Amino acid sequence: MVKSKQAKPSGWKRIAKERVSILFKQAGKEFRKHPERSKRYVELSRKIGMRYNVRIPKDLRRRFCSKCSSYLRPGVNCRVRTSESKQAVTVTCLVCGFVSRHPYIREKQNIKQ
């Protein structure tokens, strides 16, 4: 892949990050009354992240389904379980059934030390 030499203005990434977090806040607010809106917000923030090469923060990554982009709330439209055999937290989206796994091996190692 060829990277363009022209650098984007320095403030862009910061603004993109800000937008991502604002959209997620809105998604959380609207979820109860308008779940379809919060899904749209998640879609938008993922698009912004892709366009500006900004990763969605770790704490927000578990809050949406990476397959159908639904905003996920435990106990409402997703199931959160820990899996001993896979050493991971599994989040099942109850909208489309997609299972995402978040390993906790690193956290476990930190406790041992």
91 binds Zn ion (CB under 5 A): no
* Stretch in the footprint of Zn ion (CB under 5 A) among 40-48, 56-64, 91-99, 101-109: 91-99
- Between residues 16 and 78, which has the closer beta carbon with respect to Zn ion? 78
- Backbone dihedral angles phi then psi of residue 40, each to the nearest 5 degrees: -60, -40
Least CB distance to Zn ion at residue 62 (A): 13
What's the CA gap between 63 and 31, in Å, rounded? Answer: 12
- 56: closest CA among 90, 31, 22? 22
Pairing of strands 78-83, 99-103: unpaired
96 binds Zn ion (CB under 5 A): yes
68 binds Zn ion (CB under 5 A): yes
- Between residues 22 and 96, which has the closer beta carbon with respect to Zn ion? 96
> And the tokens for 61?
């990554």
x-marked contacts with Zn ion along 46-65 as a string, rule CB under 5 A: -------------------x
* Stretch in the footprint of Zn ion (CB under 5 A) among 15-23, 29-37, 83-91, 98-106: 98-106
- Backbone dihedral angles phi then psi of residue 60, each to the nearest 5 degrees: -90, -15
- 62: closest CA among 28, 19, 22, 34? 28
Q: Which residues bind Zn ion (CB under 5 A)?
A: 65, 67-68, 70, 93, 95-96, 98
